Amino acid sequence: MDNIEIWQSILAQVQLTVSPAIFATWFKSTGILSIENGEATIAVPNVLSKECLEQKYRKQIIGYLREIDGSVREVFFRVMQIVPVKPQKNKLSGGAPGNGQLGFDEFKFNKETNLNPKYNFDRFIVGPHNELAHAASRATAEKPGDVYNPLFIYGGVGLGKTHLLQAIGNEVAAKFPGKKIRYVPTEKLTTEIINAIRGGTIEALRSKYLDTALFIIDDIQFISGKDKTQDEFFYIFNTLYNKNLQIVLSSDRPPKAITELSDRLRSRFEGGMIADISLPDFETRMAILKEKCQQLEISFSDEILSVIAQTIQHNVRELEGALTKIAAHTKFKNLTPTMELCQEVLSSVNPKKIINPKKIIQETANFYDSKEKDILSDSRKKEIVKPRQVIMYLLRSELNASFPSIGRKMGNKDHTTVMHAYKKISNQIKDDQILQEEINILKQKIYNS
Ligand code: ADP
Ligand code: MG
């Protein structure tokens, strides 16, 4: 494996952990200049990239390098123009096989629409966990503005929301070449709106979005608590909606569970179609792995794939990451993957997640936007009692802690209070779908953090 191949396989892994925009901005036109005496030198196109990679990605890059070459201890970045790395034959980059084009797929994302052609319906595996969201997305792409408006898709991290949203965009772009499409992550939209308000350029911003035939906003939960952004977004939303232009949103939770969201926006979000994506079952995870193998032009036995699918259950991005890693290792060592290698790689990407009471308390407090100190107090306010009871429930259900010990952790509450909370939440989950969703999302957050 030469330096180019090593870098290709590292970039392929980086791609799985950062957004296409970040990848194109910071990792494009980089390459390995040398690896000598445990020191790797990476070429970067400019000072900005140098600073960013040094500060944010140095550790990650050393980690990846070390997996391939155990002698690497340090990495340096040097500003130097080089020929960008080309895709390797076995396509660890995930490129469309044999298209003969240079560069990673991510380089091809459309600057204006922000769409990455890699995320299309053909590459999206449908299973019981995403059937509804997929069907609604298809129908929306078929007749934008006509069937479900807005379309609101929600689900946990790494479960395919962005993929599905982008697939709608790509499908509409292919079917209706004239239609204006915009995909924007909520953080970016928020920054744009705040800058426009400050700079007095709100009209320009509005004209950028107001005639969009398909407006896709990813991770809308980040709009929580941002009042000015919400006001402006409400205006854009209404204008588009009234013109029968299509709006598609994603979120890590249903509209009801987004805190600090204005009632008028919430009711808009609830006014169309809401579809969730839950966790893929084993068969679907296998199908996803097989699809990824095809993209990477590798063939692994079902035995190997099933070990991966059994180990990684909560996050498709991690599932994909594990496969890419095993592929990179086997390529490097010129091996067909063995069960041992597979297990070795899996234990490094999927170290046994240790969860503890602290994590449960922190994540739950965050989720419900309340302070730990209030939760541990004696306050009987409704917005405090709920997270408190949920924490007690989770401490019991996930850690099997005893009622008295939970009571002590929760600010010296009596064990009967804990028992009551546990029973109450256990019963409520049975017919309160929202609570059920909230607890699912919370568990996902706790196990993924
Ligand atoms: P989210 O936006 O929900 O965090 P992403 O859409 O970014 O998740 O998905 C994470 C990765 O998993 C992406 O590379 C995506 O292509 C892949 N993925 C998720 N679900 C599927 C699926 N059903 N079929 C194929 N690939 C999937
Ligand atoms: Mg996403």
Q: Quick one: pLDDT at residue 141?
A: 98
Listed in sequence order, the residues at least 6 apart from 102 whose beta carbon sits closer than 8 Å to its beta carbon are 84, 86, 87
| pLDDT tens digits along 33-85 | 999 889 999 999 888 788 889 988 999 999 989 888 888 999 999 988 777 66
Q: What is the DSSP string of 136-174?
A: HHHHHHHSTTTS-SSEEEEE-TTSSHHHHHHHHHHHHHH
pLDDT at 268 over 50: yes
Q: Quick one: pLDDT at residue 443?
A: 84
CB 441 within 8 A of CB 154: no
Q: Quick one: pLDDT at residue 297?
A: 84
Q: Quick one: pLDDT at residue 101?
A: 28
Residue with tokens 């503005």: 145
d(CA 406, CA 389): 11
Residue whose CA lies nearest to ligand 1 atom number 19: 160
| pLDDT tens digits along 181-197 | 999 999 999 999 999 99
d(CA 25, CA 21): 6
pLDDT at 241 over 50: yes
| pLDDT tens digits along 278-322 | 999 999 999 999 999 998 888 899 999 999 998 898 899 999 999
Query: Which DSSP symbol is given to 25?
Result: I
Beta strands in 16-79, from DSSP E residues, in sequence order: 31-36, 39-44, 74-79
Confidence of residue 333 (pLDDT cuts 50, 70, 90): low
Relative to the alpha carbon of 127, which ligand is closest? 1
| pLDDT tens digits along 191-223 | 999 999 999 999 999 999 999 999 999 999 999
DSSP H or E run through 428: helix 415-431
Confidence of residue 159 (pLDDT cuts 50, 70, 90): very high
For ligand 2, the distance from its centroid to the CA atom of residue 332, given in whole angstroms, is 31
Q: Quick one: pLDDT at residue 80?
A: 83
Q: Quick one: pLDDT at residue 245?
A: 97
Q: Which atom of ligand 1 is nearest to the CA of 164?
A: 6
d(CA 441, CA 221): 13
Assigned token pair, 256: 């009801």
Query: Which DSSP symbol is given to 77?
Result: E
| For ligand 1, mutation pick of 131, 163, 253 (most atoms within 8 Å of CB) | 163
Cis peptide bond upstream of 387, omega within 30? no
Q: Quick one: pLDDT at residue 103?
A: 33
d(CA 355, CA 27): 33
Question: Which residues are near ligand 1 (CB < 6 Å)?
Answer: 123-125, 130, 155, 157-163, 288, 291, 316-317, 320
Upper half-sphere CA count for residue 384 (Cβ side, 13 Å): 12
CB 391 within 8 A of CB 410: yes
Residue 170's φ and ψ, nearest 5 degrees, are -65, -40
Assigned token pair, 240: 């588009």
DSSP H or E run through 60: helix 58-68
The set of long-range contacts for 116-123, using a CB threshold of 8 Å and a minimum separation of 24, is 116/20, 116/166, 117/170, 118/94, 119/162, 119/163, 119/164, 119/166, 119/167, 119/170, 120/166, 120/167, 120/170, 120/171, 121/167, 121/170, 121/171, 123/163, 123/291, 123/295
| For ligand 1, mutation pick of 221, 316, 441 (most atoms within 8 Å of CB) | 316
Confidence of residue 353 (pLDDT cuts 50, 70, 90): low
CB 8 within 8 A of CB 327: no
pLDDT at 135 over 80: yes
Q: Quick one: pLDDT at residue 332?
A: 65
Q: Is 338 helix (H, G, I), strand (E, B) or coil?
A: coil
Query: Which DSSP symbol is given to 424?
Result: H
Q: Which atom of ligand 1 is nearest to the CA of 319?
A: 12
| pLDDT tens digits along 93-125 | 433 333 322 234 444 678 889 999 989 999 999
Beta bridge partners of 43: 31, 78
Q: At what angle do helices 58-68 and 316-333 cross, to 10 degrees?
A: 40
d(CA 134, CA 125): 9
Q: Quick one: pLDDT at residue 434?
A: 85
Q: Quick one: pLDDT at residue 85?
A: 67
Residue whose CA lies nearest to ligand 1 atom number 1: 158
What is the residue-averaged pLDDT of the chain?
88
d(CA 270, CA 117): 29
Relative to the alpha carbon of 448, which ligand is closest? 1
For ligand 1, the distance from its centroid to the CA atom of residue 292, given in whole angstroms, is 11
For ligand 1, the distance from its centroid to the CA atom of residue 149, given in whole angstroms, is 23
Q: If you average pLDDT over residues 375-401, what whole number do you get?
A: 93
For ligand 2, the distance from its centroid to the CA atom of residue 173, given in whole angstroms, is 20
For ligand 1, the distance from its centroid to the CA atom of residue 393, given in whole angstroms, is 30
Q: Quick one: pLDDT at residue 430?
A: 87
Q: Quick one: pLDDT at residue 90?
A: 44
Where is pLDDT greater, at 380 or 346?
380
d(CA 80, CA 82): 6
Residue whose CA lies nearest to ligand 1 atom number 26: 124
For ligand 1, the distance from its centroid to the CA atom of residue 153, given in whole angstroms, is 13
For ligand 1, the distance from its centroid to the CA atom of residue 163, given in whole angstroms, is 5
